[in-house]
Structure 1
Amino acid sequence: MRITKSQTEKNRRQVIQTAVDLMTSQGFEGTTMKQIARAADLGDATIYKYFPSKEKLVLAYFEQAVADALVQIGKTKGLASFSLQERMQLLIDALLEQFLADREFVALAHKLVAGAPLLLMGEDLPGKTLLKQAFADMLEQAEEKGEIAACGFKPSLAALLADSVYAITAYWLRDDSDEFANTTQMVDLSLDLLVLALHSGIVNKALDLGGFLLRSQLTRLLRDGNGLLDLLKLARSGLARGAA
């Protein structure tokens, strides 16, 4: 019997959530596709129509989380009047909210993704295409509204911002401050710094001179976390003085 598109999507989500629950309690290696299929009330072979492997299932979780976060922010009242910084903040907050209920699983999955360095630097990061498009749209709207200086590097910057979301997630997973206050402060400072740089036009030169280096250093800083908040405060202070 042919199943409807809505039933297919329902089954897909059920498989993902079942995998999240089982892997959280049993670990990635301790969970089999057969266990996931049976717990999700699917046939042992049917699950492979949705996901060819456990690895693909883990990546699909992040794709779904990004898609759901974008749907969530799209329903925000008055979104059209939000500034660039507010829009970016809203997206990051919505995504971390998606991750919060499954934080233990996200930590497990992050280790799996981090174990594949080529994946981290490529286009195959789960949800990256959706994130890139979302950030590119935000930058385009901000440019049209005169919030930022005209720039011809929006695709490159959108890709960098998409990469930074994964680095922010890594930082958040290690954050043991009350209500993740350090993550909140780090994101606020980072976005404030970025918007200041975009408004001044300095990012044009930064990306032309070393976009790859910038991405590598950002990823390293967010992964290690050492002195990151102090560095962001210093950079923001310098840019603010330059813009005064």
Structure 2
Amino acid sequence: MSLRERKKDRTRLHLLEAALDLIARQGFAETTINQIAAAVDVSPRTLLRYFPTKEDVIVSWVEDGMAVFLTSLESRPASEPPHLALLASARAMIAHYQAREEFYLTIERVIASSPGISARKQEMTAVLAAKVTILLARHSTCSLANELYPAVVFAMIRVAFHSWVAADGRTPLLRAFDDASALIRFNDLDG
């Protein structure tokens, strides 16, 4: 990575962290592009080059979590049953979130309180589910399982996140996911 690319990544990270700090203190609606830019000592125009809208600041972190999920899934053994690969990938993504728990809890609070951002996250999850279905089809011939398992695992993730935010982080995210997992019985349709 060149010096210029590292500098851009650093600026992006500083913008994201400043935005989250401001949002945590004063709320999403009350936080302005100008305030975020000023906190990092850049122009609002520079911020808008990184993030076309304030909502993009939030959903960029959702994309990062989804990338962790996909990377984990792609690295799973081809012989592993799809539901186990999906559960392991979900746990990898959740571990990524738990590494910066307060940071991600702030993001998820914003998402939960904003119907527009929540809708964008749902759209992004639908795109991820379609990618996952394609990945699973490379290893399994059961199209029903390839479509059903991602839907079930993403529902479990959604419920775990909702529980985590509702408990204001007092219930660890991984435990909420494991509790949801315990309620589901996967049948191995890969046969």
Give TM-score, length-normalised by structure 2: 0.71
Q: Which residue of 2 aligns with 1:227?
A: none
User: Shift in Å at residue 103 of structure 1?
Assistant: 4.0
Determine whether 1:160 maps to 2:151. Answer: yes
Match of 1:84 among 82, 89, 92: 82
What secondary structure does 2:66 align onto? Answer: helix
Match of 1:174 among 166, 173, 180: 166
- Deviation per CA, 1:158-213: give whole Å up to 9, x if none: 773575233432133335547753431212433xx2x31x5289xxxxxxxxxxxx
What secondary structure does 1:45 align onto? Answer: helix
Query: CA 1:75 to 1:126, structure 2 compared with 1: closer, same or farther past 3 Å?
Result: closer
- In structure 1, what is the Cα distance between the partners aligned to 2:31 and 2:84? 40
Determine whether 1:199 maps to 2:163. Answer: no
* AA in 2 matched with 1:53: T
- Deviation per CA, 1:3-48: give whole Å up to 9, x if none: 8445434433332232222212222123221221222342222101
* AA in 1 matched with 2:83: Q
Q: Which residue of 1 aligns with 2:177?
A: 183
- In structure 1, what is the Cα distance between the partners aligned to 2:74 and 2:82? 17
Q: How does 1:106-117 map to 2 (within 5 A)?
A: 106-113=107-114, 115-116=115-116
| Aligned pairs, number | 182
What secondary structure does 2:52 align onto? Answer: coil
- In structure 2, what is the Cα distance between the partners aligned to 1:37 and 1:59? 18
- In structure 1, what is the Cα distance between the partners aligned to 2:126 and 2:13? 19
Q: Which residue of 2 aligns with 1:44?
A: 44
- In structure 2, what is the Cα distance between the partners aligned to 1:118 and 1:75? 27
CA contact (8 A) 1:136 1:158 kept: no
Comparing 130-139 with 47-56, greater Cα deviation is found at 130-139
Match of 1:129 among 113, 127, 130: 127
- Deviation per CA, 1:112-132: give whole Å up to 9, x if none: 44x249937xx9633542343
- In structure 2, what is the Cα distance between the partners aligned to 1:42 and 1:179? 35
Determine whether 1:25 maps to 2:25. Answer: yes
- Deviation per CA, 1:47-91: give whole Å up to 9, x if none: 0111122122212221122224444x2696xx3154323321222
What secondary structure does 2:63 align onto? Answer: helix
- In structure 2, what is the Cα distance between the partners aligned to 1:82 and 1:41? 49
What secondary structure does 1:28 align onto? Answer: coil
CA contact (8 A) 1:33 1:54 kept: yes
* AA in 2 matched with 1:32: T
CA contact (8 A) 2:34 2:44 kept: yes
- In structure 1, what is the Cα distance between the partners aligned to 2:68 and 2:40? 21
* AA in 2 matched with 1:42: V
* AA in 2 matched with 1:160: A
- In structure 2, what is the Cα distance between the partners aligned to 1:83 and 1:153? 10
What secondary structure does 1:199 align onto? Answer: coil
User: Shift in Å at residue 92 of structure 1?
Assistant: 1.5
Query: CA 1:13 to 1:166, structure 2 compared with 1: closer, same or farther past 3 Å?
Result: farther
After superposition, the CA RMSD in angstroms is 3.6
- In structure 1, what is the Cα distance between the partners aligned to 2:30 and 2:117? 24
Query: CA 1:30 to 1:169, structure 2 compared with 1: closer, same or farther past 3 Å?
Result: same
- In structure 1, what is the Cα distance between the partners aligned to 2:143 and 2:83? 17
Identical positions, percent: 16
Of the two, which has the highest radius of gyration?
A: 1
CA contact (8 A) 2:33 2:47 kept: yes
* AA in 1 matched with 2:24: T
